[in-house]
Each structure stands twice: as C-alpha cells, then as structure tokens.
Copies of this chain bind each other. A is one copy, B any other.
Amino acid sequence: MSATPTTPSQKPAHDGSAKNGHAPAALVSEEVIRVIRDDGSLDPTWDPKLSDERIVELYSWMVKTRIVDDRLVTLQRQGRIGFHIGSLGEEATILGSAAAARPQDWIFPCYREFGALLLRGMPLQRYIDNMFGNSNDPVQGRQMPDHYTGKPWNFGSVSSPIGTQITQAVGFGWAAKMKKDDLATLVYFGEGATSSNEFHCGANFAGVFKTPTVFLCRNNGWAISVPAARQSASKTFADKAIAYGIRGVRCDGNDLLAVYAATREAIERAARGEGSTLIETLTYRLSGHSTSDDPKAYRKEAEVEAWKSKDPNTRLRGFLEKKGLWSAEKQTALEEQTSNELAECVKVAEKAAPPTLESMFEDVFAELPWHLKEQREQLLKGPRAKGHGH
C-alpha cells in the first residue's frame, strides 16, 4: 500500500478512515479444526479436554437424538404426525456446539436442533407434544411440528422463514452486552441461510456493534436440492466473516470435540467482549431435507455413502470403545431405554386432546380485542369442521 501524504489510505480522520487502518491478525485462517484423529488419539492443539464422563454423556445424547429422529420419521410415514425435519448426520455439530455454550448463553435455533434443546433439559414429552400439536404442546398446535420453543432453557422459538433468527440473536446478545450481562448467543443456521437477507443484516450488526454472537453455520452440503457450491462462490462459508469484520472458523462438523472446541473458544471470546465468530462446521445431511423430501431425485448415492463412512456417531463410538468407555451392551441399553421412554411419550401425546377452539384466538394480542372476540364467538356457535380430532 503506497503511503504518500495524499493517498486516500492516509486520509485525515473522517470516521471512514477506520476502513484504512492496520489489518489485524487474519480474521479467517485456512485451518479446519479437527480433534479426533483417525488412529483414535486426540490432536492436542484443539483438544477441549472434556472428562470421559462428559464425552460419554454427549455421545449418549447424540444417540438419543438419532433414535428420536428415526422414530419421528416412522411416525410421519405412518401418518401419525404431519412432518419431521431431523438432524441425521449432524449430531456432532448440534450437540458439540450446544454443549459448549454455557448455561446462561442463549440458543437461537434454526429447525434441526431439537437435540440441543433436549440436552438443555427440555422433557422429551414436551417435544413429542409439539410434534403432535396437541393441547399439551406449549405452542398449542399453532405451528408445524418441529417448531418448538424453550424459554425455560434459554432457547428461542423456531420459525420457518430462513434466517430471521440470526438478526434476532444478534439483537438479543447486543442487549445483554448493553446491560453488561455475562451472556453470549449461539445461533444456528444452514449454509443456505448465508444467502438470506438476515445473515447479512445480522452479521453486519454483529461486526459493527461487537455483539457476543456465535454464528453456527451447519454446512451440510445441501439446501433442499441446492448444493453448497450453488449457494455462494466464496471459497468457504467461514470466509464470509471477512465482510463483517468478525472472526471466521472452520471445523470438522462430524467431530464432536472439534465442534465443541471451536464453539467454546468463540463463546469465551464473545464473553470477553472480543465480538462475534462465524463457525462453519463441515458436515452432511444424511437424510432428505425433511419427511417431505426425496433426495434421490438430486444427489448421488455414492456421495451419501461416502459421508456415511464419516458418520459422527460411529466415529465417536469408535473412539469411546477404543478407550474402553463404551460397549455394545451400553449401546443396546441406551437404545432400549430411549425407545421405551419415547414410546411412552408418544402414547401420552396421541391421547391428548387437540388444542381448544378458543386457543386459536389467544396470544394474537395480550388481550383479546373486540374483533377477535366476535370471530371466536362466530366459530364457537357455528358447526365443527370434519377431519380432525374434535
């Protein structure tokens, strides 16, 4: 960069001159963080040094998540629930990152993160009630399945429009920072969502206002049928951090410890006032986009097979078994226990009544205005629809 007195790069301080300041250490490194080596040892550079118990616990959640996922797909195929959108193959990304957030840190979900919410303590029954949209569903069956909410566990509210949670997570963390509360936000989204308006707005505000936000981009290769390469011509998704002056990090999204380490570091930086980090986890959506999707129409079986060989659950199980921390017996016991618990929840959920008709009019506003009172009366006094559980 030339530096004669009149070059713009030396221009006197209009505030824009910050744009010409000295480059800090590169915002995005080329490294892909990995911890669990193929030989079963851990790379000490990034090893988060979790206790054996903690790793086993997190592995158990990965297994549970997968069992629940699998069962929900079946229920959908049987027509007993309307829809499911799961996390098959992305368990290490979801559980590893959620585990790295401190209890006070808020999680803003995309829609594949029910595992994170279970990890945080939401009773399985509550989740299953949501899947059935019954009167026990805290959301009163108002939204589709998998549009859960979890305020008691510092967890946001799922909505379908892609990306909206990103800007909200930034604002939430920003507010905490204003109030000097020790809190970061962890927001999930897919690589497809990086194309949304919201990613741009959110990341830009995060950079300008140095908010304590961890952007967790699950690069699972696909946005429904659109491959990641069609989503952006950037070299990596983490590189997008440069546009916002925040840090960018990539990690092996199928390596629980790598995801944990990357997220933990980002959370700690955020908490120290060092601003936001965009984490790209390299993972793969092993299932269809949702129960409505058949991926055979647009991707090769070979690609899926190759990724199956990197299944995060299998990898972590191998690691644990090598260390003598896990066994086939433990696996069977866990699977059985989860299946039983799940069967019980489904039974309860299926028996529960649908939400009341009145519930349809509540919570639009804090109090029912006259027009909704009128509409409610009209509905109540009129005949019932056929075709659902009234």
Contacts and interface: CB of A to CB of B under 8 A. Distances in A.
Contact of A19 (B11, B207, B208, B235): B235
Given A232-B204, A233-B207, A16 B191 contact: yes
Interface in A321-373: none
Contact of A228 (B4, B15, B243, B303): B15
Given A14-B222, A221-B16, A229-B15, A38 B4 contact: yes
Interface in A6-20: 6-9, 11-20
Contact of A7 (B6, B16, B32): B32
Residue among A5, A19, A207, A219 with the most chain B CB within 10 A? A19
Contacts of A8: 32, 252-254, 282-283
A12 B302 contact: yes
- What is the oligomeric copy number? 2
A195 interface: yes
Contact of A227 (B12, B14, B20): B14
A16 B222 contact: yes
Nearest to A22: B235
Contact of A303 (B12, B23, B242, B303): B12
B244 A242 contact: no
A319 to B, nearest CB: 13
Chain A, interface residues (CB within 8 Å), range: 35 or more
In the complex, the 8 A-B pairs of residues with the closest C-beta atoms, listed nearest first: A233-B245, A16-B228, A15-B227, A8-B282, A207-B233, A200-B200, A243-B243, A18-B229
Interface in A230-282: 230-237, 239-240, 242-246, 252-254, 282
Contacts of A17: 229
A1 B31 CA distance: 5
A307 interface: yes
Contacts of A252: 7-8
Contact of A236 (B20, B30, B237, B306): B20
Contacts of A310: 6, 11
A201 interface: yes
A245 B253 contact: no
A197 interface: yes
